[in-house]
Structure formats: structure tokens, C-alpha cells
Amino acid sequence: MSSTCHPNPQEQAYLDLVSEVICDGEKRSNRTGVDTFALFGQMMRWDLQRGFPLFTTKTMAWRWVVEELLWFISGCTDSNVLSQRGVKIWDANGSAEFLASRGLTENRAGDLGPIYGWQWRHFGASYRGCDADYTGEGVDQLAHVIETIKNNPSSRRIIMSAWNPADLDKMALPPCHMSCQFFVSQPQRGEGSEEERAQLSCMMVQRSADLGLGVPFNVASYSLLTHMIAHVCDLDVGEFVHVMGDTHVYVNHTDPLSDQLERIPFPFPALRIRRKVESIDDFRFEDFELLNYKHHGRVVMEMAV
């Protein structure tokens, strides 16, 4: 089927990349003990004007995507908080056994250390455990990103990083999605109508990209973050650009992914934010509505821990 008549060429490009990695990837060992097939240095682009990239060739856990992102934005590092909301994706990495394997014997179960959201909101502060109050400590990168987009949208320094070498040994897992950069595109003079607004795009760099389980989740998460920041900055959305270093498929994912590769993607849904939200900290799950989300059934894959 040609790309011009394909119902969803963007998701098909993801499926084509999965197939390429399985067929041509280098077989590699890694810390989990489950080998992968891997290629290095891949990129995908998602036009957020053409729909919200929540994959359709399998059932996606939309609530988990939203709740984890809200948890990141809050700066929380306690996996129990997320688990109590029914989102279990960090439970294994927050177990006492896993934390001990990382040398984090002083962390109570659930204390993941200074991971993603904490770096976003308190970069450079001294981590004292997930129960400490860090109000006003460190650099609030997310707030700085939003302030810069509003006041200096042509800046080339609108960057947020979760990769902090000084804190890596304190984290349950070093960040896979390491950093993101934002870019504001202004409507070109003489094009379109006066109603056109500037567009916000995001480029995320991921050092380790698990194509089967992680990447579909990561694409949805950073696309949602782009929508949220655009909303509070009164911008439209542009593109999400996904740059991947070690781009891999676990060997035990090849069979379920082979089944997924046989499915034809449906068009992406639309995302609607139900109310005007002024602050990035004020979003809640009920603010987001997916429109016309049609998808195939589940694809079961085991997470390598």
C-alpha cells in the first residue's frame, strides 16, 4: 500500500523500523540478561497536526501514559504514589530487591531516587529521599522552559535534561529518555489567515529505545507533554521528533511483534483538552479527551528488568 493512500503512514513507519531492527539488527547482550537486536541512531517524526500518536496496532494504556507524565511533572520519585493510582510500570524497579541490586540499600521500597521528574523540577539539588520537601531547591527546568517559550520563543536554549551524571548512581534506573528541546515556529508572513498561531515542536533524545514496549509509550508521553506546554503557552502543536541511540527489540518480543506487524494501522485519534489550564502543575487526568481512538487488541510482551 503506497504512503499516499495508507490510513496511517506515520505508525507504519514505526512498524517498518521494528521489522528492520528484527531483520538487520546486531544481536547484543545487556544488563537485563535478555538479548536484543539493535541498530544505532534512528529517528522518527510525528506530525501532531495530523492526530495524536497513540498507537493503533495494539491497545495502549492511555491512563498510564497520562498518570505517569503528571507524576513526572509533580517531581515525585515514589513509585508507590503511581501504583496507588493503578499504574504499575515502576513497581518492579521500585522493589526492595531491585533497589538493593543497584546498591540503594538505604532507599525504602518505592524510592526510585532522583529520576526524571525530580531532575525536571529540582536539577542540581541534593537528593534526600522521596519523602523530603524540595520546594525552591535546584533548577526548575520545566518552569524555565515554559517561561522561555513565552518570553523568548526564538531561543535555541529551550532544553530540559534528565541526564545528570552526578546523580546517576542514586537512581533506580538512569534515564532512557535523556533530554528534550523545544522549538517555536512562527507563521510565515503572507501565509494563511490571521487566526494561525505559532506552533510548538519537541525533539526528544533517547539513549536506549525499547521498540516493543517503551517507544510507543514514550512517543505518546512526549507528544502529550508538547500538547500541555503548547496549551499553557497559547500555541498550537507542531512536530514531535524522536531521536534514538541504541534502538532495539528484545529477542522475547519478536514473536508478539511479528503478529503486530501484520496489522494495518488505523488513523490516529485527536486529543482535546477539555478546559483552559493556566499552569502546567494544574492538569489532571480528566482534562484530556481522546476522540475517535480505534485500535487493535492487546499485544502481550514481558518487560526486561
Residue 207 near residue 246 (C-beta atoms within 8 A): yes
| Residue 297: pLDDT over 60 | yes
| Residue 8: pLDDT over 80 | yes
Kindly list the distances between the CA atom of residue 50 and the CA atoms of 9, 25, 107, 172, 271, in Å, as whole numbers in the listed order. 11, 30, 44, 36, 11
pLDDT in tens, 238-255: 999 999 999 999 999 999
Residues of the chain above pLDDT 90, percent: 90
| Residue 35: pLDDT over 80 | yes
pLDDT at 301: 83
Catalytic residue among 5, 23, 130, 176: 176
Kindly list the distances between the CA atom of residue 118 and the CA atoms of 5, 74, 86, 265, in Å, as whole numbers in the listed order. 44, 8, 21, 36
The more confident residue out of 55 and 303 is: 55
For residue 187, what pLDDT band results from cuts at 50, 70 and 90? confident
Among all chains, which residue has been given the C-alpha cell 503506497?
A: 2
Backbone angles phi, psi at 97, to 5 degrees: -65, -45
Among all chains, which residue has been given the C-alpha cell 485500535?
A: 295
pLDDT at 281: 98
Any idea where the domains of the chain sit in the sequence?
9-76+153-165+174-188+196-291
Q: How many CA atoms lie within 13 A of 162 on its CB side?
A: 23
- C-alpha distance across the termini of the chain, in Å: 37
For residue 2, what pLDDT band results from cuts at 50, 70 and 90? very low
Rounded mean pLDDT, 53-79: 97
Mean pLDDT of the chain: 95
Among all chains, which residue has been given the C-alpha cell 537512581?
A: 171
Residue 203 near residue 183 (C-beta atoms within 8 A): yes
Tell me the fold of 9-76+153-165+174-188+196-291. Thymidylate Synthase; Chain A (3.30.572)
pLDDT in tens, 125-183: 999 999 999 999 999 999 999 999 999 999 999 999 999 999 999 999 999 999 999 99
Which candidate, 219, 112, 118, 231, places its Cα nearest to that of 172?
Answer: 112
Backbone angles phi, psi at 301, to 5 degrees: -135, 140
| Residue 195: pLDDT over 90 | no
pLDDT in tens, 196-245: 899 999 999 999 999 999 999 999 999 999 999 999 999 999 999 999 99
Catalytic annotation present for 176: yes
| Residue 27: pLDDT over 70 | yes
For residue 302, what pLDDT band results from cuts at 50, 70 and 90? confident
